[in-house]
Amino acid sequence: MIEEEVVEYYKFLYLRGHVSLLSGNISVRTDDCILITPTSAPKPLLTPRDLVCIDLRGNVVRGERRPSSEWRMHVAIYRARPDVNAVVHTHAVLPTILAERLKPGLLAESESYLGGGIAVVPPIKPGTWELAEAVAAALARDNVAVLKKHGVVAVGPALAEAVNRAEVLNDIALATLAEIWSGGP
Ligand SMILES: [Zn+2]
């Protein structure tokens, strides 16, 4: 069941340090709606029935909770990218701080996993349409974006690819930091 997948993948992201207890959000596009994590909940403890189904305008179709405060960002991405069926937003610290300095070329396979470059979005107030539209525009060609002073967005045709891209971006950040520490080129 896709709801169980969302809940399980969220735990992976939490356990690997990509999000804190209340931060971040995940959504998937299903046949009839966008299934998204709720706002203001300790997300590693979510159960499938805590998820909320919204339409492409943000109206709640199913579910008892309120959708993530970043629902606008998820909706804007799905509107702009018909090929995308999963959106992952984390607050991973390293890629967020390194942003333009990230070097995907340090890890040979990372570029093929990302399937594009790393977009960088300037600091914009969270939860706004302004941020949603800036992220959707940044992801017109790329599958990962760093939101400066905020976090990371990764997208994919399914949840596994989107989560993997968030992890690969974190690996690139670790490699970049290691290179800086070791006084690399
Ligand atoms: Zn955020």
- Which tens digits make up the pLDDT trace of 115-133? 999 999 999 999 999 999 9
Tell me how far apart the alpha carbons of residues 22 and 25 are, in angstroms, rounded to a whole number. 9
C-alpha dist (Å) from residue 174 to 109, 164, 167: 15, 15, 11
Distance in Å, CA 150 to ligand 1 centroid? 6
Distance in Å, CA 166 to ligand 1 centroid? 14
Name the residue ranges covered by the structural domains of the chain. 2-181
Mean pLDDT of all residues in 45-55: 95
The model's confidence at residue 185, banded by pLDDT at 50, 70 and 90, is low
Positions marked catalytic:
70
pLDDT tens column, 140-157: 999 999 999 999 999 999
Task: Note residues around ion ligand 1 (Cβ under 5 angstroms).
Answer: 151
Tell me how far apart the alpha carbons of residues 110 and 165 are, in angstroms, rounded to a whole number. 9
**Which pLDDT value is given to residue 161?**
97
Distance in Å, CA 70 to ligand 1 centroid? 7
Between 171 and 184, residue with greater pLDDT: 171
pTM: 0.96
Distance in Å, CA 181 to ligand 1 centroid? 28
Tell me how far apart the alpha carbons of residues 177 and 134 are, in angstroms, rounded to a whole number. 27
Q: Classify domain 2-181 by CATH number.
A: 3.40.225.10
Length of the chain: 185
The model's confidence at residue 46, banded by pLDDT at 50, 70 and 90, is very high
